[in-house]
């Protein structure tokens, strides 16, 4: 999903930011059950942090592009 979003963003095509937001949401959503199941371990926490940072960044860019 991130690769598709990157290609769309590079080409200034429609749905690039929305695809990146969706990929970040999926990453964050998949890491939360792992944290709950496995406990506080570095990989699930790292994925959750990465997903939330990416989600915040792409939402920020979306708000800049679509005021």
Do 32 and 51 meet the contact criterion of CB atoms below 8 Å apart?
Answer: no
Domain of 25, in residue numbers: 2-65
Task: Give the pLDDT score at 42.
Answer: 94
Task: Give the pLDDT score at 67.
Answer: 83
Q: Which residues make Cβ contacts (< 8 Å) with residue 30, sequence separation at least 6?
A: 47
Predicted TM-score of the model (pTM): 0.89
- For the chain, what is the mean pLDDT? 95
Across 37-65, average pLDDT = 95
Percent of the chain at pLDDT > 90 equals: 93
> What is the C-alpha separation between 3 and 39, in angstroms, rounded?
30
Number of domains making up the chain: 1
Across 41-57, average pLDDT = 95
Strands, DSSP E only, in 1-67?
A: none
């Amino acid at each position: 999903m991130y690769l598709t979003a990157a290609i769309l963003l590079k080409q200034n095509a429609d749905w690039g930011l929305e695809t990146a937001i969706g990929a970040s949401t999926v990453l964050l959503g998949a890491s939360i059950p792992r944290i709950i199941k496995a406990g506080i371990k570095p990989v699930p926490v790292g994925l959750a942090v990465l997903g939330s940072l990416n989600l915040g960044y792409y939402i920020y860019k979306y708000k800049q592009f679509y005021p």
